[in-house]
Amino acid sequence: MGAALLMDSPGQLLLPLGLKTACTLDAFHGAANGAALDAVRSLLQQPSPVFGLYLHGPAGVGKSHLLQGAAQAGTEWVPYLDCAELGSGRGDAAGLGLASLPDAFVSLVNAPLLCLDNVDTWAGGQDYEQFLYALYNARLQHGHPLLLAGRESPRQLPWILPDWASRVTACLQMPLRLPDDGERLRILQAMALRRGLRMDEEVARYVLRHQTRDMGALDILLEKLDALSWAQQRQLTIPFVRQCLETEAGA
């Protein structure tokens, strides 16, 4: 889930909306991506040992979870922005005109950490890349780190501004991978437990056999199962889960 920007006057950016409160760093599961979690935590140190960190990998690996977790980890305001929801650089170079409105994003420069998700969607848009380049330089001057994420490595993206391409590829790049079946099973059970739901291994295996293995989508499914189990006072059994899935498929 992305962020809506609230402006109270030119040059002042207020708190973004849309953070998922369940996406905390403590709730991030996945031994396969433990190094990425450690790297994100390092950005929260004062001063941070790393200026720019770029996480990349396919959908469902936990990139957005880590960025939103970082945004909620400290006592100070840390903006999380979903670039995909703010506009696409590809084929929409005018878009929001971010490069022509630098004064409106003073808050982004001054924040102790800035989290930009799906930044790869801005590749190929000159206005967007110029905005990122200016933002990068201003934050570097203040010593305020950047946390970026996208599906592809920044080296593989069609950037058109050489100066920005040089900056973003200089970031520490960490690939994230999808969990294997055993890890996914444990993660699903842990996600259920976090909601107060007891999910036996056989039930978890059933869910993974019959549903997408994207962990974000599974989290949405758990939210629905949680509401239905509460409303019907039912435990998470295979017959109950099957009934819920069939009802949703027929809706």
Please measure the distance between the N-terminal and C-terminal CA atoms of the chain and give it in whole angstroms.
Answer: 23
* pLDDT per position as a tens digit, 85-115: 877 655 444 444 454 445 557 888 989 999 9
Q: What angle do CA 36, 63, 167 make, to 5 degrees?
A: 75
Q: What is the CATH number of domain 181-250?
A: 1.10.8
Q: Kindly provide the residue ranges of all beta strands, DSSP E only, lying in the chain, ordered along the sequence.
A: 7-9, 12-13, 52-56, 80-82, 114-117, 146-150, 172-175
Which CATH number is correct for 7-175, 3.40.50.1220, 3.40.50.620, 3.40.50.300, 2.60.320.10? 3.40.50.300
Average pLDDT, the chain: 83
* pLDDT per position as a tens digit, 216-246: 778 888 889 999 999 998 999 999 999 888 8
Please give the residue that has the higher pLDDT: either 210 or 104.
Answer: 210
CB atoms within 10 A of CB 230: 12
Distances (CA, A) of 33 to 45, 49, 56, 123, 176: 20, 20, 11, 25, 6
pTM of the shown model: 0.78
What residue spans in the chain does CATH classification 1.10.8 cover?
181-250
Q: Can you give the pLDDT at residue 85?
A: 82
What residue spans in the chain does CATH classification 3.40.50.300 cover?
7-175
Q: Can you give the pLDDT at residue 40?
A: 95
Q: Which of 32-41, 79-88, 101-110 shows the highest mean pLDDT?
A: 32-41
Which secondary structure element, helix H or strand E, spans residue 208, and what is its range? helix 201-210
User: By three-state DSSP, how is residue 229 classified?
Assistant: helix
